[in-house]
Amino acid sequence: MTQTHQQSNLPQNIGLSLSGGGYRAAGFHLGLLSYLNRVNLLQQVRMISTVSGGTFTGAKYTLSLVAGQTFPEFYQEYYALLKNTKLVELALNKLNRKEINIPSSRTDLITASAQVYAEKFFKDADGKPYRFGHILNANIPLQEVIFNATEFRSGLAFRFQRSANPKARIGNGNISIDRSDAEDIRVADIVAASSCFPGGFEPLAFPGDFNWSDSQALNNIKKTVAKTLPKVDLKQPIADENPLASDEELATIDSNIPIISGQKDTDIALMDGGIYDNQGIESLWLAEKRSEVKLDLFIISDVDQRPGSLYSFPAPFKVSPLTLKAIDWISKILIGFCAFTLVTIGYEFIKDYINGQFIWLDFFLYIIPILLAATTASILVWSRNIIKKRILPLIPQVGILAWKDLKNLTVNQVVNGIYLRLSSLQAMAGSVFMQRIRSLGFRFIYQQYDETTRQKLISNLIYELRTGSQLTQLPGVEPPSSAILEIIDAAASMPTTLWFTEDNELDNLLIAGQVTTCYNLMVYITRTHGAQPNSYPQDIRKLWNNLVIDWQNFSSNPKVLS
């Protein structure tokens, strides 16, 4: 494995796309990296594209190269951070203390989380946060590094990237950040933008929510963003008519989106890169397309959960059989009781006060009941006004007149109707759309190569070895043992979170990444060199033998490399 490129049959130029998926992704991808390192292929990785949870691992690994760490040093440090860092607790603490130094002065969960990332994950030996310039200017084997976010103004990918090609943009086809300004971007903020998933976090404003050490870089980027307001031209086609277009091609179309007259944006909203491409496939393909280096191996490491039922119709709630009309009358009666309470207690309070009979204990006898009654009445009146003046008028065609029909609905009907809408909306955004985006990404990449070059693609899927899966028959290799299946099943079913709820979850993910990578490398070899190991070239046969031995060891003890 120390042979030159001309002499070796092993992959010399490897590209990795690391999918999103929270800590499930971070742990699984760490397992991938550790196994590539074990078989001496990690040093051949030339390109890396990451999304969301994959950006945690990808950014940390890239910075370990910048710092000159050995892989074991990186692995031990990152493992401890994933295992022991309580991100939610620390972010809430930052949120409470408002210890966030950013131009927007915004204090919310995503900006607090970015500060935690900077202080815990992405700092140098002196405790200072890494800046993107450390990656852009480093002498490391990774020629192409892409951390993916999604830009919400145009709906395009927003790429923080290091590239050997000077034409590669930091940003997208609409917004291109000058490299010298991008050097001051904090890596922790890039990771926050890439992993800022909707519902869990607020959008991250760029550049206002980012931390800056150079005010000139901030001002330059503000001017860049402000100058890129799109103009309207309804004669232009819609960008989505060409699903295979690059960001640069899309920008020539999407620059015609309407703008509001007089609008002056100095910030754009960035969110999770998985909204555009949860595997980072397109970014890695574009990186290879523009590079003089062509990949021998293109590994798509994906922790999307096994396809299945995306939405189970929930059982109905049983809250109350009361109708809305009854609730309306109850609220009127309560308002009447509150008003009567205010009058009677108020009268007694005034009488005692005038007669000089008021003592401090009367505070609880008079003042507290008066405040409670007034507050209750105010809330009820306010709620009724909101429904009457703000909500009902929004109903199409009938407006407030809809009340004559709606008042006979029961609370059960209303609650279940709202719940079904919210749950189906969540399933649509979190499962249905994500599965569609994923299938489009895989379809896209497999269409870019012919039958010969397509052999370099490896889909390294977390659920691939799960119980019941149909696996490739490999010469002399037994199916996964029950010990392997147990761990794979547990890892693949872990939810998308930024925390671990059980002590063994991280270890399960690491083992799943290692075992799945071992299996897929064996599949890759049989696909490219046939099913007769004795006929393999010497270096391929050596790699094959090592993979088979590791597989056998995994079968008897999946934790053998832990």
> For 171-182, what is each residue's pLDDT tens digit?
998 899 999 999
Examine the pLDDT at 2 and tell me if it is beyond 50.
no
**pLDDT for position 29:** 98
Cα 286 to Cα 298: distance, rounded to the nearest angstrom: 12
Q: Is the pLDDT of residue 6 over 90?
A: no
Give the pLDDT of residue 233: 47
Report the distance separating Cα 114 and Cα 345, nearest Å.
53
The residue among 235 and 196 whose pLDDT is bigger is 196
pTM assigned to the model: 0.87
Query: Does position 7 have pLDDT exceeding 50, yes or no?
Result: yes
What does the pLDDT average to over 131-137? Answer: 98
Average of per-residue pLDDT across 346-373? 80
Q: What angle do CA 261, 263, 269 make, to 5 degrees?
A: 135
pLDDT of residue 310: 79
pLDDT of residue 229: 65
CB-based burial label for 30 (10 Å; 0-12, 13-18, 19+): buried
Q: In the predicted model, is pLDDT for residue 257 greater than 60?
A: no
pLDDT digits (tens, 9 = 90+) for 224-253: 998 876 554 444 444 444 444 555 555 544
Q: Which of 434, 144, 422 is nearest to 272 (CA)?
A: 434
Average pLDDT over residues 187-193: 98
Identify the DSSP state of 186.
B
Q: How confident is the model at residue 254 (pLDDT cuts 50, 70, 90)?
A: very low
Q: What is the mean pLDDT of the chain?
A: 90
- Provide the token pair at 443: 């379809």
User: If you write DSSP's letter for every residue of 200-263 in order, what string do you get?
Assistant: TBPPEEETTTS--S-HHHHHHHHHHHHTT-----TTSPPGGG-TT--HHHHHHHHTTS---TT-
* Confidence (pLDDT) at 350: 83
Average pLDDT over residues 25-54: 98
- Active-site residue set: 52, 214
pLDDT at 532 exceeding the cut of 60:
yes
Flag whether pLDDT at 359 surpasses 90: no
Could you tell me the CA-to-CA distances from 76 to 80, 281, 432 in Å, in that order? 6, 28, 37
pLDDT at residue 425, as a whole number: 86
Nearest to 78 by CA among 559, 553, 509, 551: 509
- Residue 470: exposed, middle, or buried by beta-carbon count in 10 A (0-12, 13-18, 19+)? exposed
Average pLDDT over residues 175-199: 96
